[in-house]
Amino acid sequence: MRERLHLKVLPRDPCENDFTWYEMIRDELLRKTVGRAQRVLDVGCGQGEPLLILSGQIGSGMGVDISEERIRAAENARKKLGIENIEFIHASAVDLPLESGEFDAVLMLGDVLCYDNLYGRQEEVLSEIRRVLIDDGLTVYQGMNWDWEYKLSPSWTYFTRADNGNFRFHRNRRTASGSETSRDYDVVPGTPLHDWLLQRDWPVSPQGHDISIDVIEERKIPQRWLKYSGVSRYQHYTPARLRRRYQNAGFRHVEVLAYGQTYDIVNKAGLLESVGLAKSELAQAEAAVALELRTGSGPWLFLVARK
């Protein structure tokens, strides 16, 4: 007799799928904040989009990332665009192979401080950033607003699909202070759970990446269908905790603003499709308001500080 799955699949919120609008706001904030900086470093640069976007207004830039695959993708994008003043290298955020005082602006975008491989090492990362900055150099951080995220989901149970096609299951528990612990499992091939996942219509973001299938376990998944693979730990930040983190690392004039609420408002009003081409103008407007007022509410944080 075939065992039954007791899982309820949760609908995906389009705000979680389409980061394009959020990225438009972030890019506008970067353009206005970084300005005509001569030498810019992006730590955890991923596929390099922000540096490539800034390439026309800065002197030169370097992106570093722990993933060699992402560095190759960034370099391919640079060559395709014919950009000559940006370079990408493979390196760790806790051990930058760079001279002290080499950059007048350092970026960390996309929750780099929250990565599980940097858990407990955030002070080392910020120390390295201070070291490579010139005196009074600018640093920018962008990441999730935990005040916003925690209200949406204090716990999270979901499946992911790896590049090799294998499935993983995660039971996440979160605290209001920003701590997140995930117990991770590989889904055992040949089990009813594995077969069920093979038949699912996996959502894909507008950027072409697989995203998770969120579920509620109405009854615990049988342990024999899962192979325990370990625990992942993350530290996320509320605006106040992020500000203190940078201040304690020795940075001055630390300011944190929140943004991204216009996207959520338009989405909840059911106007995403009708907005169309106007979303670029709305993104620029929200960035201008956030910078002018230095306040705001939304799912993303943007920090600016000086060495």
Same domain as 199, residue 156: yes
Do the domain assignments include residue 209? yes
Residue 1 lies in a domain: no
Does residue 15 surpass a pLDDT of 90? no
What per-residue confidence (pLDDT) applies to 1? 45
Q: Do both 258 and 221 map to the same domain?
A: no
Instruction: Tell me: do 116 and 256 sit in the same domain.
Output: yes
Same domain, yes or no: 269 and 282: yes
Q: Is residue 177 part of a domain?
A: yes
Stated pTM of the model = 0.87
Position 148 pLDDT exceeds 70 = yes
The range of the structural domain enclosing residue 208 comes to: 7-15+148-234
Domain co-membership, 118 together with 243: yes
Q: Is residue 30 included in any domain, yes or no?
A: yes
- Regarding whether 154 and 119 lie in a shared domain, the answer is no
Statement to judge: residues 186 and 260 lie in one domain: no
**Span 160-189, pLDDT tens digits:** 988 788 999 999 999 998 999 999 999 999
The CA-CA-CA angle for residues 9, 14, 20, to 5°, reads 140
CATH number of the domain to which 65 belongs: 3.40.50.150
The pLDDT mean for the chain works out to 89
Note whether residue 133 is domain-resident.
Answer: yes
Largest distance between two CA atoms of the chain: 70
Q: Are residues 119 and 38 in the same domain?
A: yes
Q: Does residue 134 sit in the same domain as residue 246?
A: yes
Question: Which among 219, 234, 249 is the end of a domain?
Answer: 234
Residue entry with tokens 């590989």: 186
φ, ψ for residue 243, nearest 5 deg? -60, -45
**3-state helix/strand/coil string of the chain:** CCCCCCEEECCCCHHHHCCHHHHHHHHHHHHHHHCCCCEEEEECCCCCHHHHHHCCCCCEEEEEECCHHHHHHHHHHHHHHCCCCEEEEECECCECCCCCCCEEEEEEECCHHHCHHHCCCHHHHHHHHHHHEEEEEEEEEEEECHHHHHHHCCEEEEEEECCCCCEEEEEEEECCCCEEEEEEEEECCCCHHHHHHHCCCCCECCCCCECCEEEEECCCCCHHHEEEEEEEEEECCCHHHHHHHHHHCCCEEEEEEEECHHHHHHHHCCCHHHHHHHHHHHHHHHHHHHHHHCCCCCCEEEEEEEC
Note the pLDDT tens digit of each residue in 187-217.
999 999 999 999 988 876 655 555 788 999 9
Residues 62 and 188 in one domain: no
* Cβ contact 230:184 at 8 Å: yes
Q: Which of 214, 234, 254 is the last residue of a domain?
A: 234
Answer whether residue 41 is part of any domain. yes
- Count of structural domains, the chain: 2
Left (φ > 0), alpha (ψ -120 to 50) or beta: where does 140 sit? beta
Last residue of a domain, one of 234, 269, 293: 234
Q: Which range is most confident: 7-16, 254-263, 266-275? A: 254-263
Do 34 and 111 fall into the same domain?
yes
Structural domain contains residue 159: yes
Same domain, 99 and 241: yes
The confidence score (pLDDT) of residue 90 equals: 96
Give Rg (Cα) of the chain. 21
- The pLDDT assigned to 30 comes to 95
- Are the CB atoms for 36 and 58 separated by under 8 Å? yes
